[in-house]
Chain A
Amino acid sequence: GENVGLHLPTLSVQEGDNSIINCAYSNSASDYFIWYKQESGKGPQFIIDIRSNMDKRQGQRVTVLLNKTVKHLSLQIAATQPGDSAVYFCAERGWGGKLIFGQGTELSVKP
């Protein structure tokens, strides 16, 4: 079946350091992936996406890497700030456009 999961449930980094959050997926046919950020008491918020015909995509301070060979996604956050503290989810787009979410990684930024 379809499954998207994360390697680490928690990640603690120092302010200014770079953060790397990982995700494994199982459906090799998935063609589109999204990273979401979810702050306490809020719904998930879009960060960055990537299609399966790409292996890297950059945004403002964020980069997503896709390795289709091992079915692995990562989210890199440069110069992590306290405002980046949140839970991060990867999601893959399945049949009918529905998004299938992984467990999530909680990022904690120490000042």
Chain B
Amino acid sequence: EAGVAQSPRYKIIEKRQSVAFWCNPISGHATLYWYQQILGQGPKLLIQFQNNGVVDDSQLPKDRFSAERLKGVDSTLKIQPAKLEDSAVYLCASSLGPTETDRGYTFGSGTRLTVV
């Protein structure tokens, strides 16, 4: 099966600019996750979707970050305006469902964001 697709692979922006990341999960996976991975750290969950609804966005900095999954398939994560501390790899992952996470999720390769 095709994996989780993410684009772009790399992005460099200046602080206070905006940026958007795109994710297409594995076909049929109802649950989609966005994780932020700062260099040298483990991934941290930003937001979890079940189909087109938000399940958990408690760790999402809502003053600057937003995410949507309008049709319950692909998803977009946006940062506006970006700060230097947003430099990280943004990972998208998917699973069949929130309780069907045996063997974990399938992760994409991520988007590496550098804010200068």
Contact = CB atoms under 8 A, between A and B. Distances in A.
A99 interface: yes
B45 A99 contact: yes
Contact of A41 (B95, B98, B100, B109): B109
A43 B42 contact: no
Contacts of A43: 4, 91, 93, 107-110
A86 to B, nearest CB: 13
A99 B55 contact: no
Interface in A34-82: 34, 36, 41-46, 49
B40 A104 contact: yes
B99 A102 contact: no
Contact of A101 (B40, B42, B55, B108): B42
B22 interface: no
A49 B103 contact: yes
Interface residues of A, number: 25
Contacts of A30: none
Contacts of A45: 107
B41 A49 contact: no
A99 B91 contact: no
A89 interface: yes
A48 to B, nearest CB: 9
B63 interface: no
27 contacts: A4-B42, A34-B103, A42-B110, A43-B93, A43-B107, A44-B91, A44-B107, A45-B107, A46-B104, A49-B104, A89-B42, A89-B43, A96-B55, A96-B56, A97-B95, A97-B98, A98-B33, A98-B45, A98-B48, A98-B98, A99-B43, A99-B105, A101-B42, A101-B43, A103-B40, A104-B41, A104-B42
Interface of B: 4, 31, 33, 40-45, 48, 55-56, 91, 93, 95, 97-105, 107-110
Closest 10 CB pairs of A and B: A43-B107, A101-B42, A97-B98, A97-B101, A34-B104, A101-B43, A46-B104, A89-B42, A44-B107, A102-B42
